[in-house]
Amino acid sequence: MATEDIIGAIIKEDIVDKTLVWLKKISEVPGVSGFEHRVKDLLLEKINNHVTVSYDKLGSIIFEKEGQQPGPKIMLASHMDEIGFMVKNISKEGFIKFVTLGGWWEQVMLGQKVTLLSTKGDIPGVIGSKPPHVLTPEDRKKVVQKREMYIDVGASSEEEAKVNFGIRPGDAIVPYSEFTVMANEKLLMAKAWDNRIGCAIMAEVMDQLALEKHSNTVYGVGTVQEEVGLRGATTSAGAVNPDLSFAIDTCIAGDTPGISEDQASSKLGKGVAICIYDASMIPHIKLRDFVIEIANENQIPYQLQFTEGGGTDAGRIHVHAKGVPSLVLSIPTRYIHSHHSIIHRDDYQSAIELLMAILKKLDATTYNKLVN
């Protein structure tokens, strides 16, 4: 979609689609692991003054909303960071060598646009690639390794890159992709759905709680550095000390060519995905069944999902202190860990509906039944 088409999808008959405005903002803001401050600022802007705000010492942000009655402390964890890169060094010719932040597959990297966050502002660049004209038949079959790649920011020398552009080793480099409403307007393409869609859901739930009665204390947490080792989950769990937790994240959509249902069972548009297993956690079974029962009672679309490789913040939170019953709620997403990924808007809505239904029902009595 062209820019004017995106604006047309957001504004119809002079009515602004606030959800699309919010999703565009939260997906496009740069925030690779360790550099999540701009995402944090957006969450502060979105979540109004009905919450108490605090932080852990790694940079995770914690929004606390007390209920009308004492009850369990419930943590909603959504990591703010996206995968990206960091400047390693600058060649004499002005090209940028980099290290990866998070899991990247080489075949989705070459020729892609990036934004380098320098001391003098945001600098556009591209991951360089050789034209096929100069490649031998054998070279065309080879995968270019990450260590061989570089970024071209238009600098003619190392000095120009450093002095004029303000680039230095340690600067963040962010994938570039514009938020796009697809021809099927329920499908939304952007960078960083992993895990800005989780942040968007958490923020919307915290906003809606201001208008609802609930017998618990809810902590909406934007965690840092999930993509490089679930680090903010560890420190923020120590700050919150929750009784229960829900990690809100993405999962692999298994509805594209080349991915079998045995590899990934969830599909776009079929509802929020309730994780039955991942490599970092087996969910608390009573909590899992409680959530499924709520979804059925409220006729909220959901699907059961597994992830045999990888994990989420819940992998660290559930083993905090004496243990925290935890569950992962995910949004099926195509092409995660690349510059462009796709979600379905209905899945976003079903996740919000399910979390709101859970929080309205989770009081002290229900919590005690779950853990005893």
The predicted-structure confidence for 240-251, as pLDDT tens digits, reads as follows 999 999 999 999
Residue 150 is encoded by which pair of tokens?
């570089």
Bridge partners (DSSP) listed for residue 305: 275
By C-alpha distance, which of 141, 168, 140 is closest to 153?
168
* pLDDT score of 310 more than 70: yes
| Summary mean pLDDT of the chain | 95
Q: Which residue has the higher pLDDT, 142 or 32?
A: 32
pLDDT of residue 176: 98
DSSP state of 228: T
The residues of the chain that CATH labels 2.40.30.40 are: 84-175
By C-alpha distance, which of 275, 279, 271, 211 is closest to 245?
275
Residue 335 is encoded by which pair of tokens?
């092409």
Write the pLDDT tens digit of every residue in 24-58.
Answer: 999 999 999 999 999 999 999 999 778 999 999 99
* pLDDT score of 208 more than 80: yes
Binding-site positions for Zn(2+) read 79, 194, 227, 249, 337
pLDDT of residue 48: 75
pLDDT of residue 21: 96
Residue 211 is encoded by which pair of tokens?
């208008």
Q: What angle do CA 249, 107, 329 make, to 5 degrees?
A: 10
Residue 62 CA to its chain's centroid (Å): 16
Q: Given 3.40.225.10, 3.40.50.800, 2.40.30.40, 1.10.569.10, which CATH number is that of 84-175?
A: 2.40.30.40
Query: b/e map of 249-284 (b: 16 or more CB within 10 Å)?
Result: bbbbbbbeeeeeeeebbbbbbbbbbbbbebebbebb
Residue 110 is encoded by which pair of tokens?
């070459």
Say which of 138, 226, 261, 353 is annotated catalytic: 226
* pLDDT score of 60 more than 90: yes
Q: Which residue has the higher pLDDT, 140 or 33?
A: 33
pLDDT of residue 10: 67
Confirm if 169 and 104 have CB atoms less than 8 A apart: no
Cα–Cα distance measured from residue 31 to residue 15, given in angstroms and rounded to the nearest whole number: 30
The residues of the chain that CATH labels 3.40.630.10 are: 4-82+191-371
DSSP for 176-212, written as a single string:
----EE-SSTTEEEES-HHHHHHHHHHHHHHHHHTTS
DSSP 3-state of 357: helix
226 tagged catalytic:
yes
- β-pairing, 113-118 vs 73-79, is unpaired
DSSP state of 160: I
Which residues, including other chains, have CB under 8 Å from residue 299's CB and lie 6 or more apart?
A: none
Cα–Cα distance measured from residue 97 to residue 152, given in angstroms and rounded to the nearest whole number: 9
Binding-site positions read 79, 194, 227, 249, 337
* pLDDT score of 281 more than 60: yes
By C-alpha distance, which of 65, 64, 356 is closest to 205?
356
DSSP state of 337: S
Average pLDDT value for residue range 125-149? 91
pLDDT of residue 2: 55
Query: b/e map of 335-346 (b: 16 or more CB within 10 Å)?
Result: bbbbbbbbbbbb
- Place domain 4-82+191-371 in its CATH homologous superfamily: Zn peptidases (3.40.630.10)
Cα–Cα distance measured from residue 308 to residue 202, given in angstroms and rounded to the nearest whole number: 25
DSSP 3-state of 231: helix
| DSSP run (H or E) holding 332 | strand 326-333
* pLDDT score of 340 more than 90: yes
Residue 265 is encoded by which pair of tokens?
């069972």
